[in-house]
Amino acid sequence: MQHFYAQIANHIGLAKVFAQQEKVREGELELKAALEIANSLNLHSEILKTYQAYSVFYQILNDYKNATQSLDVFFALYDSLLSIQKFEILKETQNNFFVQQNLNKIQHELESTRLMRIHLIVILALLLGIIILIIWRLRMQRNLNRQLKQV
């Protein structure tokens, strides 16, 4: 992937050299090649750099009409990419919010389940204690009854 960035930079550099030599056609072909690579790989930053290079290319040639048009394309593309990026950030923020909300809900449910288990254990312990107490009292009563029968 890194070599594609280098290829694009090479094409842009060659285009600027051709502009210095006033070789318009060759320079435009280099910029077109850079733009094709950037577009084919969907490298937004490199697409922007290429359109900016178009403007510099035409400025070097003193062709301010084309330089201005290239800058207009650059700014329009920059604005649209910025809008897309803002939308993606907003979407990611919303997703993070919903994930956090779900995590909080699950955590609350787990805490409720844990408390319910603790309450259940306490109730079972109390019931066991009551049963043991009843059995103990029943045995004591039987022992007392036996002793009364013997007397």
Q: Which two tokens stand for residue 115?
A: 């408390």
Neighbours of 136 (CB within 10 A): 10
Contacts of 76 (CB under 8 A, 6+ apart): none
13-37: per-residue pLDDT in tens? 999 999 999 999 999 999 999 999 9
54-86: per-residue pLDDT in tens? 999 999 999 999 999 999 988 998 898 888 889
Among candidate residues 32, 117, 43, the one with its CA nearest the CA of residue 77: 43
Q: How far apart, in Å, are the Cα atoms of 63 and each of 19, 30, 67, 111?
A: 11, 17, 6, 70
Higher local confidence (pLDDT), 151 or 134? 134
81-113: per-residue pLDDT in tens? 888 889 999 999 999 999 999 999 999 999 999
Structure confidence at residue 3 as a pLDDT band (50, 70, 90): confident
Amino acid 1: pLDDT? 63
| pTM of structure | 0.59
Amino acid 21: pLDDT? 94
Q: Which two tokens stand for residue 139?
A: 């045995």
How many helices (H) and strands (E) are present in the chain, helices listed first?
Answer: 4, 0
Asked if the model's pLDDT at residue 151 lies above 80, the reply is no
Among candidate residues 88, 69, 91, the one with its CA nearest the CA of residue 80: 88
Asked if the model's pLDDT at residue 140 lies above 80, the reply is yes
How far apart CA 35 and CA 73 sit, in angstroms, is: 13
